[in-house]
Amino acid sequence: MSSTQTTRELRASAPVMSPLPAAPPAAEPTAISRKAAPFSLAWTGLTLFLLTVLGFVCALLPLGTAPALISLSFLGGILYALTARRLPTLLTARATWRATPLLPLALCLLLGAVSVLWTPVRKDGVGQLLTFLYTVVPFLFWIGTLREVDEQRRWLLIRWAVIGMLVGLAIFAVEVVGDQPIYRLEKALEGTKVDHDRALNRPAVLFATLAWPLGLGLARLAWVTGRGAVARLPALTVMRLPPAGRAMPWAWVMPAAFFLAALGGTSASAKVGLGAGLVFYGLARLSARTARVLLIVALVAGPTLSIPISLALHRAGLTEEARMPWSFRHRVEIWDVAARRILEKPLLGWGLDSSRNIPDEGEVSKFHPESPIIPLHPHNIFLQVLLELGVVGSLLYTWLGVGLAWGTRRLPAYAQATALAAIAATIAVGCFSYGVWQTWWLCGIMLAAGLLELNLPAGWWTRAGKA
């Protein structure tokens, strides 16, 4: 039997989900079936537009991920509430608090709010707390509405998000290869200064996470439509599911393409993130359980070992090692200072958003003498949480991360490798790059979670809860 014939038989045998699948006759109706969630044309149009332009936004306007998510959350939430006249079931069902990491997330937000009382500059702490309230809380409402989206709308939204991300990949590749021609034109029209590294680094780290759920969507397109995937996109209405128990073939193609494009850029963090994601994806294809355990070990080891490793790197003289990249040597200096400041207030930390305001105590940076020795944040997620929220906050955030990693076992088999790779890529980027509270990056991560949800079959979470 030829490989072509085998592929055709597999596709023919794959079940097709109807746009609005009916519940089995013998099963008791769920809360969703009793209180159907209507999604208006306005909600669909808003979500479709913002997800389609996401690739363009990430490539040229990376800071725009924040208003994109906030618009989706607030406006989409209002439109949902006007038609459904209720909260999403995700936020009201008791089982949600047992089966999802919502409890540690709520406790993390609560600790951040309380820590404002002892943060060095209370205004900054309050500002960061308000940022959490208008990004994270509405996001939970948005992800709750996505869980109730029917199969037909899921397919509509994810396929156009994939098209938009392919456009974003093309733009990013042009910017890397052509020395940022679009960015230079934009700055020339504005009459503002060109900042080469930052203009490429931000899109690169966003793509390190977003490429994974959209890569899964692209692989599902190929599964359904074969060679005519792009040409037949407008005609597709429902999504075939891959055979039960199989990982989705070719979900690594889009992340690999972004990795190759990032090699020509300046962001080492993005290269490390995409590389770590590819490694974990390959491992998860062999054994999702092994990849999950290793990821949890990394999440626990991060806060445990970050302080001794930071101190050891500085004692080894890496800040003076000329063969090392300048940015890495600067980070070694920052990590050393952050580690020593953590030991001064280990239990509850210095308070939310305190990194930029911790007294220098006469220390001057070798790399930026005119700036605080910890500029904005420690460039490491584990150190930043320990520094600002102490051991208590670190335990809560570790609980949150482990809950997300462990929760991937409930996903359909074809999505588990992608989810684990996205988490691994995000952690790897966070170990070297932007601050954990930076709104645009945090919103990019939350958008990736929403896109992963759209890749899953409608009602998957009710079936997973019964399994």
Q: Residue 211 corresponds to which amino acid?
A: A
Whole-number Å distance between alpha carbons of 321 and 314: 11
Whole-number Å distance between alpha carbons of 229 and 26: 37
Which range is least confidently modeled, 161-170, 171-180, 330-339, 424-433?
171-180
Residue pair 376/435 in contact by the 8 Å Cβ criterion: yes
**CB-based contacts of 357, cutoff 8 Å, min separation 6:** 119, 120, 121, 124
Residue pair 335/313 in contact by the 8 Å Cβ criterion: yes
Sign of the torsion angle spanned by Cα atoms 225, 227, 228, 229: positive
Whole-number Å distance between alpha carbons of 48 and 434: 29
Does 268 score more than 80 pLDDT? Answer: yes
Which whole number is the average pLDDT over 310-315? 92
Does 166 score more than 80 pLDDT? Answer: yes
Burial 3-23 (b: 16+ CB within 10 A, else e): eeeeeeeeeeebeebeeeeee
Helix, strand, coil percentages, rounded to 5, for the chain? 70, 0, 30
Does 358 score more than 60 pLDDT? Answer: yes
**How confident is the model at residue 240, as a pLDDT?**
61
List, for residues 381-411, the tens digit of each pLDDT value: 999 999 999 999 999 999 999 999 999 999 9
List, for residues 289-305, the tens digit of each pLDDT value: 999 999 999 999 999 99
Sign of the torsion angle spanned by Cα atoms 183, 189, 195, 198: negative
- The residues pairing with 16 across neighbouring beta strands, listed in sequence order, are 240
Whole-structure pTM value: 0.86
- The residues pairing with 318 across neighbouring beta strands, listed in sequence order, are none
Residue pair 78/46 in contact by the 8 Å Cβ criterion: no
Phi, psi of 240, deg, nearest 5: -70, 145
Whole-number Å distance between alpha carbons of 299 and 148: 31
DSSP track, 195-220: -HHHHHHHHHHHHHHHHHHHHHHHHH
List, for residues 29-67, the tens digit of each pLDDT value: 333 333 444 688 889 899 999 999 988 998 888 899 999
The residue ranges of every structural domain in the chain are 41-228+245-456
For the chain, what is the mean pLDDT? 82
Query: What is the band of 417 on the pLDDT scale with cuts at 50, 70, 90?
Result: very high
Query: What is the band of 232 on the pLDDT scale with cuts at 50, 70, 90?
Result: low
